[in-house]
Amino acid sequence: MAQKEACSFQRGSGILMPITSLPSPYGIGTLGKAAYEFVDFLKKAQQRYWQVLPIGPTSFGDSPYQSFSAFAGNPYFIDLDTLVDEGLLQYDEINCHDWGYDATKVDYAKIFESRFTVLRKAFDRSTHKDLPEYKAFCDDNVFWLDDYSLYMALKFYFDNREWQLWENDIRLTKPAAVENYKQKLANDVDFWKFLQFKFFEQWNRIKAYANSKGIRIIGDIPIYVSMDSADTWVHGNLFQLDEEKKPVKVAGVPPDNFSADGQLWGNPLYDWDKMEKTGFAWWKQRMGASAKIYDVIRIDHFIGVVKYFSIPADATTAIGGKWMPGPGIKLINAINSVLGNSLVIAEDLGVSDDRVVALLKKAGYPGMKVLQFGFDGGSDNVMLPHNITENFVVYGGTHDNETLVGYFCDDNKSIEDLRYAVEYLNCETIDSIPDAIIRVGFMSCAHTVIYQLQDYLGLDNSARMNFPSKLGGNWEWRATKAQMSDKLAARIARLVEIYGR
């Protein structure tokens, strides 16, 4: 069962812009005024897509790919100005907090220290429980909302420790313990429900506004969930955990040219046999929920559907892991049954595998190509524009990569690769490579091309979003309002006009 023809991709382009990176006076981007202004910028630039990073609540390290829930929204994104307009907050209650001094960086420690204090004031004043919209929201999301809200209440009760370190009975979700804490923490549970209600209220508004302007939102979901998540705590039977709910095997990727030890991610692995016996019910819920909030869903590490790298939980590196078979087309069919009009992009980067190619062909999902990686292997490099066919989404670079200026214009690239890039792109200087990369992406046959805003702005690696395997300093970059200028929008729009996007 492939993606429906009626819901296919149109030839177009978009911008990768995380919610965190939007301008805001309160330390981090939100779903408020700046989000609407960014949609207006996209419209001026004649873009079809706004791609965001995962929008779930983040845990230690602030990575959107390590979330407390596969379903919930990040409370940091709730716009405080909107809450003031609704009479739930006053500006002196917001402005008395330190949200950070640098408008181009997120200070997550300051956000964590202050955000929930302010949001609790809004909750205390709210009469949301009397609203039919709130009751409908709770009823529509009962399959995850109650569990997540109890989980977060417990997490704060246990000093933000991961659930594996909670008291044994509640760690193991013993019914008596669950009922006891539901009553004991009832007000806190209601607080976390309120936050999700406000998040999705604001999210649905900005999505409707984007859609009204002809712009579709591309969401991003990690294939794996975090060990420290409501999903793993509640649904431990669907993961490779032992009777004490401790992981037996965990996720990662094997050693390669970039990492001699491989990558030990530590995420719990799915028990695909048990998943299949349920008809992949949890995955259907997850993808059905994603299809309601996104027009297009990018599945990160899509290779995990075909095969996954299984590493012993007590390992210190990925060296001792091995490949195991994934669910393949059976999971794809389950996913497609709940997508409605939403589409899927498969992040198929990394190790080449004929089975992944075959599954993508059956599913009809487009894969990804990253132009940044096209100039180190000769003319047969699959990332070069002349080798890219229609059913792909082309990126200059992703959130995990250097910016185009950082990649091509620093002092660490080989002279041979740079010489080839200059000649291939018909550039006069190395400094002109980044703009040429943008142009050839628009020129390509691929139906969709996505660039980071940083690359349109010509920023160096100080604006890089993520340095994989580096602890700290990630996910921090923020744009300023001045950077999203009419002049830049006109330059992008001209590329759209020239290359029919």
Give the active site residues: 300, 347, 400
Residue 121 near residue 92, CB atoms below 8 Å: no
Kindly give the pairing relationship between strand 216-221 and strand 296-299: parallel
Q: Are 440 and 374 in contact (CB under 8 A)?
A: no
- Locate tokens 């669910």: which residue? 327
Q: What is the CA radius of gyration of the chain?
A: 23
Q: Which of 74, 111, 114, 63 is nearest to 93 (CA)?
A: 114
Residue 115: name the closest of 145, 86, 83 by CA. 83
Contact 409, 363 (CB under 8 A): no
Cα–Cα distance for residue pair 468/243, rounded to 1 Å: 33
Tokens for 488? 């830049």
Residue 198 neighbours by CB distance under 10 Å: 27
Q: How far is CA 131 from CA 124, 197, 404, 454, in A?
A: 15, 11, 49, 42
DSSP state of 8: P
Tally the residues of the chain: 501
By three-state DSSP, how is residue 374 classified?
coil
